[in-house]
Amino acid sequence: ILPNDAKARRLFVTTGSLKRVQEIKAEPGSTLMEYITIINCCFPEDIVRYYSPGYPETLLDRVEQYQPELNDLALHEERRTSSDIPDLTSHLHDK
């Protein structure tokens, strides 16, 4: 059903079933692991990863290690003053 039915895949995710499948401890090469792999192939890789145990910690580690790179435009852009706000809002009302 999952490979051919988008609604079934959505329901599988929203009911927590995909998350539960990721939590199953299966031996590599076992029939159970094969079934888990088949189920996982029905979903985008990033969705499977999102519901895998430990993923929130992985994301937090990436946030801590991230080094922002600000480009010249962001560094040199003029800041808007409060006197600019009426001009911006009147422009929005014109549309």
Confidence of residue 7 (pLDDT cuts 50, 70, 90): very high
Report d(CA 79, CA 70) in Å as an integer.
16
Specify the number of domains making up the chain. Answer: 1
Which carries the bigger pLDDT value, residue 10 or residue 72?
10
What is the gyration radius of the CA atoms in the chain, in angstroms? 23
pLDDT tens, residue by residue, 50-70: 999 999 899 999 999 999 887
Q: Give residue 53's domain range.
A: 2-94
Percent of the chain with pLDDT over 70: 75
Out of 6-10, 19-23, 37-41, 64-68, pick the least confident. Answer: 64-68
Instruction: Work out the end-to-end distance of the chain between its first and last CA atoms, rounded to an integer number of angstroms.
Output: 47
The pTM assigned to this predicted structure is: 0.65
